[in-house]
Amino acid sequence: MQDIGFAGLGAMGTAMTRNLLQAGFRMHVFNRSREKAEQFSREGGVTVAARPSDLAAGGRVIVSMLADDKALEQVVTGPGGLSEGASGILHISMSTVSPETSRRMAQIHSGRGDRFV
């Protein structure tokens, strides 16, 4: 089964990750508060990434479920962000963000050979 990276382990992100685990996917997770990711990993079947860029090493598909525009920008373009990881990923953003931020993230990803949805 395929590996999937997941950024954002709030209530919705945790539920989505659990569903993907139950479907048989191997999960690599990142959360800005590492404690939450570590707690989740103790349940098994999950590898904790030290930074978002590490998610790209775990799989070509990365899902993010983040709080807002700022959180998405930090995960993509901040230090250790997705934009510093392996290229060729598919980033599926489930976050509620502005159209401007979505367009900017799509441009950043496209410039690296990534896809952004």
Largest CA distance in the chain: 37
pTM over 0.85: yes
User: pLDDT for 43-102, tens place per residue?
Assistant: 888 999 999 999 988 668 999 999 999 999 999 999 999 999 999 999 999 999 999 999
What domains sit in the chain, N to C, each tagged with a CATH number?
3-116 (3.40.50.720)
Tell me the two tokens of residue 100.
């401007």
Q: What is the pLDDT of residue 56?
A: 86
Q: What is the pLDDT of residue 59?
A: 67
Calculate the average pLDDT of the chain: 94
SS3 sequence of 3-48: EEEEECCCHHHHHHHHHHHHCCCEEEEECCCHHHHHHHHCCCCEEE
Q: How many CB atoms lie within 10 A of CB 24?
A: 9
- Asked whether the predicted pLDDT for residue 1 surpasses 80, the reply is no
